[in-house]
Amino acid sequence: MKMGRVLLGVVAAPHGVRGLVRVKSFTEDPTAIGTYGPLSDETGKKAYRVEVLSAARGTVLARIEGVADRTAAEALRGLRLYVERDALPKAGEREWYEADLIGLPAVGRDGRDWGKVVAFHDFGAGAVMEVSGGVMLPFTDEVVPEIDVEGGKVVVDPPAGLLAESETKEA
């Protein structure tokens, strides 16, 4: 398992005039973002205590300690909030954290090297796993039949014709 920090949410916008913010939470239960203790920024140098007040429309309404007005809340727009990986609960069977998959090699059932997992996206029609070279694979059991975090690989079985035979992946 990788150690380090995991992105838990992003400050989306201020709410009202008293310093409240809307946070897009990436936790399974969006309101859980406030239960991990202080979160940090991308540098890991500044800590933020987040108190969740409610959840609505895909975001949580939160108070961040020390933010008392709309101007201060507006200054946090786009702030990415991280937690130390070891503060998260252990993943269950057939569960994993996307952060643990980033950087793993994606290997085809046929042995083809598809590159490395670089990101996950959800554009509204389901999760997609991005592999180096810009290859986007549906993140489904059919296309990604095996995930071996301990063994350090993701097995993929892309749909026929995803890439033309003459195309090669970029590493």
Report field, pTM of the whole predicted structure over 0.85: no
Closest CA to 105 of 155, 170, 140: 155
17 shares its domain with 75: yes
- 123 plus 79 within the same structural domain: no
| Residues 17 and 65 grouped into a single domain | yes
Domain membership flag for residue 33: yes
Domain that holds residue 115: 98-156
The phi-psi region of residue 16 (left if phi > 0; otherwise alpha if psi is between -120 and 50; otherwise beta) is left
pLDDT of the residue at 19: 96
**164 in a structural domain:** no
Identify whether 166 is part of a domain: no
Name the residue type at position 51: E
Q: Is residue 165 part of a domain?
A: no
Which CATH number does the domain housing residue 65 bear?
2.40.30.60
Question: Distance between CA 92 and CA 28 in Å, rounded?
Answer: 13
Given a contact cutoff of 8 angstroms between Cβ atoms, the answer to whether 125 and 117 are in contact is no
Cα separation of 63 and 85, whole Å?
A: 23
Block residue for tokens 């101007």:
71
Q: Which helix (H) or strand (E) holds 52?
A: strand 50-56
Does residue 105 share a domain with residue 70? Answer: no
Quote the pLDDT of residue 124: 79
Residue 26 lies in a domain: yes
Q: What is the residue-level pLDDT of the chain in tens, covering all 171 positions?
A: 456 889 999 999 999 999 999 999 988 899 999 999 999 999 999 999 999 999 987 799 999 999 999 999 999 999 999 999 888 888 878 788 888 899 999 999 989 999 999 999 888 788 899 999 889 999 999 999 999 988 999 999 988 877 655 444 454
What distance in Å separates the CA atoms of residue 32 and residue 51, rounded to the nearest whole number?
A: 10
Are residue 52 and residue 113 in the same domain, yes or no?
Answer: no
**pLDDT at position 13:** 96
